[in-house]
Amino acid sequence: MAIADLAPAEETLGLVSAAGSEGFAARCDVSSGESVAQFARWVEEHFGRCDVLVANAGIYPVMSFDDTTWEGWRRVMSVNLDSLFHLTKAFLPGMREAGWGRIIATASNGFYSGLPDLTPYVASKGGVIGFVRSLAIEVGVAGVTVNAVAPSLVRTRGTTEGPHESLGMFEKVRERQAIRRTQLPADVAGLVSFLASDEAGFITGQTIPVDGGSVRV
């Protein structure tokens, strides 16, 4: 497993090692095509090619549209949507050559209902869904599938350190769910693992909510 992040990833690498797998982490700004290209070269040196790409970078500043600047809008788009372009550009050629590949993006169930004070975030996730739908048609003949998972509000280090707790967002989200508990990363991991497997080889172009039954599509 290769991990691209701006922050150190020792904790994740420890989990990978404990599971009996090999991994490495590199500092990478996924909003930068140049940075992603360098990361792709490191992946090639370590593993030869990338079979499964999980594009999971995301930021979600909570603010009204009136308070959103053009710079803030572009920052969200660059991390949440442009990164998917850069990563796919870097790793899709190797998948085509191998005749097998999985591209898995992270969308949001907020796309289906909209979310107040998160307009740039929801718009970026709508772009992710459109990207997945269209690219899947182009690359299916090469043995590559393209799908997205659409979680709800997941309790992570980022969401707990942000304003979500103080604004009562976890409670509001739970009230809309059929399963009345806060979503955890493990709730998403199973679906990602399935989409990366041979068993999901006939699923492509889809965005699958995994949100405790909050949306029903």
SS3 114: coil
Cα angle: 59, vertex 60, 64; to 5 degrees: 145
- 45 exposure class (CB count in 10 Å sphere: 0-12, 13-18, 19+): exposed
Task: Point out the catalytic residue in the list 39, 91, 112, 121.
Answer: 121
Helix (H) or strand (E) holding 151: strand 144-151
Q: 149: closest CA among 106, 109, 102?
A: 106
Q: DSSP label at 198?
A: G
Is residue 121 among the annotated active site residues? Answer: yes
Return d(Cα 71, Cα 85) in angstroms, integer: 20
Measured CA to CA, the distance from residue 124 to residue 30 in angstroms comes to 15
Residues 3 and 25: beta-carbon distance below 8 Å: yes
Active-site residue set: 121
